[in-house]
């Protein structure tokens, strides 16, 4: 059986038609919005453990879902348990390789320096992010680890997808943490 007849690994998504992301800009925007909705949903689960609500997922070049993650730093007492790291690890397990070539990582908040490094190491092709993080973001704000000219692997960055919703989720979380004024 030719390899082309094998279904691609991961979970098929409704809009997957063999290529990802869609070629047409309008269709691409619609799909990014839908994926960010899934990442937002995943982020909301972090609230149960008082974790900063950040959600991430990895999509294959065929448009299948390879991995999902949310921030579990408090839940696991693990400083490295960021949404992106957990989504990347699950995607690598799904594919059976650490190389996530051609893959897209979708995340509700601009990645930190650790996660930006992991995105480069995993050879992720594209980063779709929700809210920018001017204080600690490492993919365009404070630093730009994923598009550094000195690096041999660079990542396409699509920013500001559903950024109001992504930003509000985080702001509401910190306001609740501080308690009523």
Rule CB under 5 A: is residue 115 a binding residue for Zn ion?
yes
Among 129, 138, 62, 67, smallest CA distance to 102 is for 62
Tokens read off for 101? 């070539």
Among 108, 49, 113, smallest CA distance to 83 is for 108
Annotated active-site residue in 42, 75, 84, 175 = 84
84 included as an active-site residue: yes
Instruction: Consult the annotation and say whether 45 binds a ligand.
Output: no
Rule CB under 5 A: is residue 112 a binding residue for Zn ion?
yes
Distance in Å, CB of 107 to Zn ion, minimum: 9
Judged by CB under 5 A, the number of residues near Zn ion is 4
Contact region for Zn ion (CB under 5 A) — 17-25, 33-41, 87-95, 109-117?
Answer: 109-117
Q: Of 72 and 82, which CB lies nearer to Zn ion in the complex structure?
A: 82
Helix, strand, coil percent values for the chain (each to nearest 5) = 40, 15, 45
Tokens read off for 164? 């109001």
Contact region for Zn ion (CB under 5 A) — 70-78, 80-88, 123-131, 149-157?
Answer: 80-88
Rule CB under 5 A: is residue 82 a binding residue for Zn ion?
yes
Binding mask 24-63 for Zn ion (x = CB under 5 A): ----------------------------------------
Q: How many CB atoms lie within 10 A of CB 93?
A: 12
Strand pairing category for 126-131 and 65-70: unpaired
Cα Rg, the chain, nearest whole Å: 16
Contact region for Zn ion (CB under 5 A) — 27-35, 64-72, 75-83, 159-167?
Answer: 75-83
Indicate the helix (H) or strand (E) that contains 70. Answer: strand 65-70
Q: Which residues are annotated as a binding site?
A: 82, 112, 115
Residues that bind Zn ion (CB under 5 A): 82, 112, 114-115
């Amino acid at each position: 059986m030719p390899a082309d007849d094998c279904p691609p690994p991961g979970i098929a998504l409704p809009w997957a038609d063999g290529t990802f992301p869609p070629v047409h800009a309008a269709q691409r925007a619609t799909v990014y919005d839908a994926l960010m909705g899934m990442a937002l949903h995943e982020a909301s689960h972090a609230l149960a453990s008082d974790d900063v609500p950040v959600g991430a997922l990895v999509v294959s070049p065929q448009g299948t879902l390879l991995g999902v993650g949310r921030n579990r730093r408090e839940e696991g007492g693990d400083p490295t348990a960021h949404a992106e790291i957990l989504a990347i690890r699950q995607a690598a397990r799904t594919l059976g390789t650490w190389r996530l070539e051609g893959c897209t990582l979708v995340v509700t908040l601009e990645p930190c320096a650790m996660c930006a490094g992991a995105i480069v190491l995993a050879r992720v092709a594209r980063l779709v992010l929700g809210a920018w993080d001017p204080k600690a973001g490492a993919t365009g704000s404070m630093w730009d680890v994923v598009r550094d000219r000195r690096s041999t692997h660079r990542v396409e960055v699509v920013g500001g997808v559903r950024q109001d919703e992504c930003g509000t989720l985080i702001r509401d979380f910190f306001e609740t943490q501080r308690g009523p004024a």
